[in-house]
Amino acid sequence: MIMDISTLSLTQVSALLQQGEISSLDLTRAVLDRIALIDDQLHAFLYLDTDRALEQAEKIDRERKKGSKIAKPLLGIPLAVKDVLAVKGMPCTCGSKILENYHPPYTATAVRRLQDAGMIIIGKTNTDEFAMGSSTENSAYGITRNPWDATRVPGGSSGGSAAAVAARMVSAALGTDTGGSVRQPASFCGVTGLKPTYGRVSRYGLVAYGSSLDSCGAFGHSARDVQMLFSAMAGHDPLDATSQNVAIHSMDFTKNPDLRGVRIGVPREYFLPGMQKDVESKVRAAIEIFSELGAQVKEVSLPHTEFAVPVYYLVAPAEASANLARYDGIRFGPRLDGENLWDVFTRTRGEKFGDEVTRRIMLGTYALSAGYYDAYYGQAQKVRALIKRDFEEVFKEVDTIACPVAPTTAFKIGVHGDDPLAMYLEDIFTLPANLAGIPGLAFPVGFDQEGLPVGMQLMGKHFDESNLFKLADAYQQVTDWHKRSPELK
Ligand code: GLN
């Protein structure tokens, strides 16, 4: 059977598989065919595990025929995984030459849980080197293009995963979010993406960037899609000391949602004079829909928002400089020869790390060095506490915060090439959730004048992902932005 998967969401393929309308082998073949047809234009994938994926699909179909009655909604569905998550048997480059040909001997917990739920890992997707970036231009293996306009970036750092879902090559993908890397590419590509609460999904097997900020999230076409993935991958993991044992609410998505009694806060600091006008108008229009559905909407203030960029760009590089010290040419990846051990380290690191990673290591090392620690890192930690407190205060008044994901839609490839600071400023609305450890969900709420998707973000209290899913699902029941697809041939 030749199948057109180009319009199917995760929820839909799950239903078709469970009803026996399609087989996992049909689906996996269709996914691989579509990748072969269009990924040359986008370069979302760095690696495909074709043979094993087909083998697994066949095996799952055989077992399904035997008639196991256990409902497994994700059984037999292909999943794309960002190349900073370890999957045994596949390379894990982190978009870096320093991990070229590195094959981790274990699988990340989040991925393993989805494998246990029956998902088939189809391959690894492109990323900014070590997830440092907002455009996927910092990958050592080439850029990924935005499926809505190939002259533009897909966002980053999980740009490969977001583009793969947006281009309907896969219905589900995993990403990571340290400062916006799931939400911002979701917004740029017009898909739904979750950054869970810090500690909700295990970080075991997620190659560390900023350990106090890193999270493993997911992409799909709708809140329901992402919730399916989230509920399978979340939960306590003894292999990650920061993972928490908090029950995951089972979700019952009601038809014709009534949002009476729901309190939504709109932070005034998230609408800046310099931001793109149609981002503001589309996000405000979406907030209006929440009011029409019965929610109480009020303006709130998160006064320390303006410090999120400087705080993040001290804390994240500081943690990165420590985390990346392990890539010295001895234990991982390729090694350049040298006169002595020191020479081996410096030559390997000097040549194999890209410019952005080098910049972050230098910034972080400086911020942590004796004499500067109090002025930079110490100070940043104090202001981080204030940012967190802003949210605690606001969550006394409202249950959820609604705001834009990014100040612009997808920008042109190369525009921020010589200006890292301009690139960092793009992260202004996503960084605070990571600094505070709270969950954030991004989903499409319209298009700008150029036909590029505009995203909105909902942020919630710690461990309150279910509320974000509920609200986004209510919005998606009365709108169809999330069903739109780019035209790709
Ligand atoms: N753009 C941010 C950075 O470059 C966030 C990246 C991320 O979330 N991994 O650090």
- What are the average pLDDT values for consecutive 10-residue runs of the chain, which has 489 residues? 75 94 95 96 98 97 80 94 98 98 96 98 98 98 98 98 98 98 98 98 98 98 98 97 89 84 97 93 98 97 97 98 95 92 95 97 95 94 98 98 98 92 92 98 98 98 96 97 92
| Contact assessment for residue 171 and residue 162, using Cβ atoms and an 8 Å cutoff | no
CB-neighbour burial class of residue 217 (10 A; exposed 0-12, middle 13-18, buried 19+): buried
Task: Tell me whether residue 59 is one of the annotated catalytic residues.
Answer: no
Tokens of 150: 């190939």
- Cα-to-centroid distance, 134 and ligand 1 (Å): 6
What gap in Å lies between CA 96 and CA 276, rounded to an integer? 33
Determine the residue of 94, 128, 129, 132 to mutate for testing ligand 1's pocket, defined as the one with the most ligand atoms within 8 A of the Cβ atom.
Answer: 132
What gap in Å lies between CA 374 and CA 159, rounded to an integer? 35
What gap in Å lies between CA 191 and CA 146, rounded to an integer? 12
Task: Tell me whether residue 82 is one of the annotated catalytic residues.
Answer: yes
φ/ψ region of 439 (left if φ > 0, alpha if ψ in -120 to 50, else beta) reads beta
Determine the residue of 125, 134, 429 to mutate for testing ligand 1's pocket, defined as the one with the most ligand atoms within 8 A of the Cβ atom.
Answer: 134
Judge if the beta carbon of residue 235 lies within 6 A of ligand 1: no
Distance of CA 209 to the CA centre of its chain: 14
What gap in Å lies between CA 333 and CA 424, rounded to an integer? 29
Place of tokens 């999943």: 79
* Domains recognised in the chain with CATH numbers: 5-261+440-483 (3.90.1300.10)
Judge if the beta carbon of residue 333 lies within 6 A of ligand 1: no
Judge if the beta carbon of residue 431 lies within 6 A of ligand 1: no
Residue 120, phi then psi, degrees to nearest 5: -110, 120
For residue 70, the model assigns a pLDDT of 64
What gap in Å lies between CA 253 and CA 417, rounded to an integer? 43
Marked catalytic residue, from 72, 82, 282, 352: 82
| Contact assessment for residue 196 and residue 227, using Cβ atoms and an 8 Å cutoff | no
Task: Tell me whether residue 88 is one of the annotated catalytic residues.
Answer: no
Cα Rg of the chain, angstroms: 21
What gap in Å lies between CA 131 and CA 151, rounded to an integer? 21
What gap in Å lies between CA 481 and CA 57, rounded to an integer? 31
**Closest residue to atom 10 of ligand 1, CA basis:** 132
Judge if the beta carbon of residue 178 lies within 6 A of ligand 1: yes
459-470 as b/e: b if 16+ CB within 10 A: bbbbbbbbbbbb
Determine the residue of 83, 96, 128, 311 to mutate for testing ligand 1's pocket, defined as the one with the most ligand atoms within 8 A of the Cβ atom.
Answer: 128
**Closest residue to atom 4 of ligand 1, CA basis:** 133
What gap in Å lies between CA 109 and CA 112, rounded to an integer? 5
Q: What pTM does this model have?
A: 0.97
Please choose, from the candidates 417, 320, 402, the residue with its C-alpha nearest in 3D space to the C-alpha of residue 360.
Answer: 320
| Contact assessment for residue 488 and residue 38, using Cβ atoms and an 8 Å cutoff | yes
Q: Which ligand 1 atom is nearest residue 181's CA?
A: 8
| Contact assessment for residue 225 and residue 9, using Cβ atoms and an 8 Å cutoff | yes
Q: Which element (helix H / strand E) includes 390?
A: helix 379-397
| Contact assessment for residue 91 and residue 104, using Cβ atoms and an 8 Å cutoff | no
Q: Which ligand 1 atom is nearest residue 213's CA?
A: 8
Q: Which ligand 1 atom is nearest residue 180's CA?
A: 8
| Contact assessment for residue 16 and residue 230, using Cβ atoms and an 8 Å cutoff | no
Judge if the beta carbon of residue 179 lies within 6 A of ligand 1: yes
Judge if the beta carbon of residue 133 lies within 6 A of ligand 1: yes
Place of tokens 């040909």: 101
Judge if the beta carbon of residue 81 lies within 6 A of ligand 1: no
What gap in Å lies between CA 104 and CA 108, rounded to an integer? 10
Residue 45, phi then psi, degrees to nearest 5: -100, 140
What gap in Å lies between CA 316 and CA 209, rounded to an integer? 7
Please choose, from the candidates 126, 116, 3, 109, the residue with its C-alpha nearest in 3D space to the C-alpha of residue 56.
Answer: 116
For residue 2, the model assigns a pLDDT of 54
Marked catalytic residue, from 24, 157, 187, 222: 157
- Cα-to-centroid distance, 186 and ligand 1 (Å): 14
